[in-house]
């Protein structure tokens, strides 16, 4: 069976005065990851993102954590998004759309994605606490914004209900993982086609 022309993987290296990042992704992986951002909770979330999307990820970050986690989280979203965009190439053969409701204990989060090339984020989740350990909960949205913008995803994430902030964050990442993994999967019936009546996805 013809699958795709070539491997869907990419490496991005990004260095600024605030962060130094190397990201490698393989879209046709098995969910293996090696993550070291220096931010424990964020590593835990990225590990979930890889595991449940089946995208292999190597992410190494040296960020200005003496200031706070903000630059590290946002810039990791930028670099990971750029790597996914690069690995997607023309977006040929992908299923393009996916959505699901993801449950975890008391918490339910809905995600829907269009791997369209057009960046747009709707993020509706309110956290009961400002911090999870030392991690600022507002950085969850910062990461999703950077990822959607740079990967070219129309992404909607809504926490429908839930009380525990760790669970709310984790369901956002796991729901993203599942919809992204499903939407970038190759549909063998259209493996040679770009899934748009325009004939291209930017």
Which residues form the interface with Mn ion (CB under 5 A)?
Answer: 170
For Mn ion, give the closer residue by CB, 69 or 170.
170
For Mn ion, give the closer residue by CB, 26 or 170.
170
Name the token pair of 63. 């960020």
CA nearest to 67, candidates 38, 88, 93: 38
Least spacing, CB of residue 168 vs Mn ion, in Å = 11
The CA–CA distances, whole Å, from 160 to 45, 104, 109, 127, 149 equal 19, 12, 5, 12, 24
Least spacing, CB of residue 44 vs Mn ion, in Å = 6
For Mn ion, give the closer residue by CB, 78 or 157.
157
Least spacing, CB of residue 177 vs Mn ion, in Å = 13
The contacts of residue 189 (CB under 8 Å, 6+ apart) are none
For Mn ion, give the closer residue by CB, 19 or 165.
165
Helix, coil or strand: residue 134: coil
Least spacing, CB of residue 133 vs Mn ion, in Å = 11
Least spacing, CB of residue 165 vs Mn ion, in Å = 11
Q: What is the C-alpha separation between 186 and 63, in angstroms, rounded?
A: 35
Which residue has its beta carbon closest to Mn ion? 170
For Mn ion, give the closer residue by CB, 16 or 128.
128
Q: What is the C-alpha separation between 93 and 188, in angstroms, rounded?
A: 7
- List phi, psi (to 5°) of 26: -130, 110
For Mn ion, give the closer residue by CB, 74 or 170.
170
CA nearest to 76, candidates 136, 138, 151: 151
Helix or strand (DSSP H, E) at 53: helix 40-53
Least spacing, CB of residue 172 vs Mn ion, in Å = 12
């Amino acid at each position: 069976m013809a699958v795709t022309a070539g491997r869907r993987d990419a490496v991005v290296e990004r260095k600024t005065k605030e962060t130094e990042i190397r990201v490698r992704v393989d879209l046709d992986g098995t969910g293996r990851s090696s993550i070291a951002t220096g931010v424990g909770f964020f590593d835990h979330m990225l590990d979930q993102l890889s595991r449940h999307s089946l995208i292999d990820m190597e992410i190494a970050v040296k960020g200005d954590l003496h200031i706070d986690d903000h630059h590290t989280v946002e810039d990791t979203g930028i670099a990971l998004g750029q790597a996914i965009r690069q690995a997607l190439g023309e977006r040929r053969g992908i299923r393009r759309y996916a959505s699901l409701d993801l449950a975890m204990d008391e918490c339910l989060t809905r995600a829907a994605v269009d791997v369209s090339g057009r960046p747009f984020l709707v993020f509706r989740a309110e956290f009961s606490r400002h911090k999870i350990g030392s991690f600022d909960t507002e950085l969850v949205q910062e990461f999703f914004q950077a990822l959607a913008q740079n990967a070219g995803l129309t992404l909607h994430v809504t926490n429908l209900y839930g009380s525990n902030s760790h669970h709310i964050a984790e369901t956002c990442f796991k729901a993203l993982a599942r919809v992204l993994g499903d939407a970038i999967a190759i549909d063998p019936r259209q493996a040679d086609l770009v899934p748009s009546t325009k004939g291209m996805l930017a």
